[in-house]
Structure 1
Amino acid sequence: MGATLKLGTVAGVKIGVHWSALGTVVLLFALVTSGLAHAYPDQSTVAHVASGLVAAVLFMASLFTHEIAHAVVAKRQGLEVEGITLWLLGGVSSIRGEASRPRADFAIAIVGPAASLASALVFAALAWFLAFIGAGPLWVAVASYLAVINVLLAAFNLIPAAPLDGGRILRAALWAARGDRVSAAVWAARAGRGFGMFLLLLGGMEFLFGYSAGLWWLMLGLFILLMAGAEERQAQTGAALAGLRVRDVMTQDPDTASGDLPVEAFLHDYTLVRRHSSFPLLDERGRFEGLITFDRLIAVPARERPTTTLREAACPPGEVPVADPGEPVTDLLPRLSAAADRRALVFSGDRLVGIVTPSDISRAVALHLPRS
């Protein structure tokens, strides 16, 4: 998930906020403000609004603490953390690679709920301190609310269903017991799918009976169901591609083109004959200048095609992932998925030797997927 607003870097991890996180802030602000207004009607409207805003912002800070804990431990375990994005349903840590052993997998998973419990203790201590100094019942209630909600956050995340932290813990336990990481990941994901369906059923029933919280459970259940399904497919794909190198899946010696060609001429004289959907651009010395795809070709307005060159319409070289023929395919997958055109070029030294496309990956998975 891409960040709408980049906030900076903490502990070497890029931090961002998705626009949907505003929904969480608004919802919490409304719930806390209305609840405090009902519980403390003697307080002013300004105090109610201020306390609701503080509660919403500090809760987002709690979510950030939860995710940064995952990221820090993952980095200590040798994994690459691309960033953290806060969004509507919480936070997402983008971690490249997998833990090398069950103990590391467990450590990365358990630290999130532990951080939430630590936040709960901090807010509980703050509530006690505010009460001790006579800060007023409104602010004591805000601190107490944040303590309780962080306990609930930790408890919810410990449910043994992927993609929740409890699902990761279940995966680590099954991995340690059976010695098979793929099987452990599949079972954790299936538990997540079951839990997601339960939340959808719960949310649907509440929504039908007029409870507004049902919509929240519906969204959360759908998110868990989709993410669990994606994790199961990812586990199976990883198993199918394990041990394969880029040279094993790439299309060798791809057709190339000159970046000086006009788009219109290329469309009429080349694409209908070659039947490929992507072409690396090489200059007269064989240097890589970009990647042109059929989608980029047809995106050029018809009136501009005679004067627009392939180089001008192509994906720039810096945005095209490159790979070595001996690189494991599983290491290339994250870069391939993040690429704008979802294609990677393979170089042996300075010489272009192949291209990897989603079709190449799908073909390799189909050929090597374990049959039950």
Structure 2
Amino acid sequence: MRVGLHWSVLVIVVLVTVALARGEFPAAHPGYSAVQYWTLALLAAVVFLVSLLAHELAHAVVARRNGVQVDGITLWMLGGAARLHSEAATPAAELRIAAVGPLTSLLAGGALAGVAAGLDALHASGLVVEAVAWLSAINILLAVFNALPAAPLDGGRLLRAYLWHRTGDRLRATRGASAAGRGLGWFLVVTGFAAVLFAHNLSGLWPALIGWFLISAATAEARQAEMRSVLGGVPVSRVMTPNPVTVPDTATLADFLAEGPFGHYRHSAFPVLAAGGSVVGLLTVRRVELAPAQGRVSTTVGQVMRPLADVVIAAPEEPVLDLFPRLEASPVRRAVVLDEGRLVGILTVADITRALAWPAEPTQTLPRSTDPHLTKEAS
């Protein structure tokens, strides 16, 4: 399993180190050298990151035990995230995966509190005891904050598991947890900016930043749930535009432009075919616009097209949901659909958006879950 570090991790390490070395430690235990303050502060910041990693690893381990594939873990400025390839199959599995994170942080905080008490009893350096006590407190705070019933926090996952269990509707449960996440996010944004504007306390920017993150993440989670509900199990062949208009790689840009925008080439992107009929690239109107106007008579499509190696390629039977992240990351936001090397279609983000916007038939609410494991764990 891959563990990644976002560049913003450096920001949190610097902020924690400076806050401890310049504020917390000298205020609580004056008289030590600057080297001691800074060394211990940096060590505490690193251990804090390790505790965040332990929190996410706990999610990943339990997720795998419950049949959910884990793509990796990424640590960043506001914490970490275990990237799950799929969702839990039952509310009980969702509950187990969500609950283990805060529980891990709470156990870490308790263990560190015991270590701090033991060091104090042994008359260890007060500065060291202070550092361990701070790590204990921050882990307990992390556990409490993550247990708040608002997506995308772990408490939001617990709320979703409960709503899913009660209603039998995963999408409805996700909407409820996401709404709670946006509500908490706006509360933090408003109170944070109020502290800055009325109390002139710049530390209010922190809750405002966290609140904005919660709003964005909760909105994205609700959107992904809608996508999974509509497109779950749907292959690319059902959403793509079949038999797309193509352009030969030997055509000049002048010839190409002469056919648009109301003629044959009325779209904005076209698969490019070689003389033998094989796909060799993708031509976009943007690439044509970037070509010098005076050279378009002699410049061919093959010279300005995006090579096939730089284009997202999909198979007709590939699930749309698996393809979507690659489409969003692609500069052209399009995929060429090939069936054993033969061009059969083209898929754009707009095609997926159009499918999501189609009015859905009303569905009946599923019966309430009777999973005995969830009943046992929730009691």
Residue 55 of structure 2 aligns with which residue?
66
One-letter amino acid of the structure 1 residue matched with residue 282 of structure 2: L
Residue 210 of structure 2 aligns with which residue?
220
Of 102-111 and 142-151, the range deviating more from structure 2: 102-111
Of 250-259 and 129-138, the range deviating more from structure 2: 129-138
2:12 is the counterpart of 1:48: no
Residue 7 of structure 1 aligns with which residue?
none
Quote the Cα distance in structure 2 between the aligned partners of 1:137 and 1:153.
24
State which of 93, 100, 106 in structure 2 corresponds to 1:117: 106
Quote the Cα distance in structure 1 between the aligned partners of 2:255 and 2:25.
66
One-letter amino acid of the structure 2 residue matched with residue 268 of structure 1: L
Q: Taking structure 2 as the reference length, what is the TM-score of the superposition? A: 0.84
Of 213-222 and 327-336, the range deviating more from structure 2: 327-336
Q: Taking structure 1 as the reference length, what is the TM-score of the superposition? A: 0.86
The 1:86/1:314 distance shift into structure 2, 3 A limit, reads: farther
Matches within 5 A, 1:127-146: 127-131=116-120, 134-146=123-135
Counterpart of 1:285 in 2: which secondary structure?
coil
Structure 2's unaligned 5+ residue stretches are: 364-379
Of 240-249 and 347-356, the range deviating more from structure 2: 240-249
Asked if structure 2 preserves the Cα contact closer than 8 Å seen for 1:240 and 1:370, the reply is no
One-letter amino acid of the structure 1 residue matched with residue 151 of structure 2: A
Asked if structure 2 preserves the Cα contact closer than 8 Å seen for 1:171 and 1:187, the reply is yes
The 1:104/1:338 distance shift into structure 2, 3 A limit, reads: farther
Higher relative contact order (CA 8 A, sep 6+): 2
**What is the deviation of 1:234?**
2.2
2:16 is the counterpart of 1:28: yes
One-letter amino acid of the structure 1 residue matched with residue 81 of structure 2: V
The 1:364/1:53 distance shift into structure 2, 3 A limit, reads: same
**What is the deviation of 1:223?**
0.9
2:81 is the counterpart of 1:92: yes
One-letter amino acid of the structure 2 residue matched with residue 107 of structure 1: R
From the CA coordinates, give the structure whose radius of gyration is larger: 2
2:225 is the counterpart of 1:245: no
Matches within 5 A, 1:218-367: 218-242=208-232, 244-259=234-249, 264-265=253-254, 268-269=257-258, 272=261, 273=263, 274-299=265-290, 310-311=301-302, 313-367=304-358
Aligned-residue Cα RMSD (Å) equals 2.7
Quote the Cα distance in structure 2 between the aligned partners of 1:184 and 1:291.
41
Quote the Cα distance in structure 1 between the aligned partners of 2:299 and 2:30.
67
Quote the Cα distance in structure 2 between the aligned partners of 1:120 and 1:369.
47
**What is the deviation of 1:218?**
0.6
2:163 is the counterpart of 1:174: yes
Q: Deviations over 1:15-64 (max 9, x none)?
A: 22222222212221122121111111111111111121111222122222
Counterpart of 1:325 in 2: which secondary structure?
coil
Of 265-274 and 162-171, the range deviating more from structure 2: 265-274
The 1:185/1:316 distance shift into structure 2, 3 A limit, reads: farther
The 1:142/1:261 distance shift into structure 2, 3 A limit, reads: farther
**What is the deviation of 1:104?**
2.2
Q: How many pairs align?
A: 359
Asked if structure 2 preserves the Cα contact closer than 8 Å seen for 1:190 and 1:228, the reply is yes
**What is the deviation of 1:266?**
6.6
Residue 165 of structure 1 aligns with which residue?
154
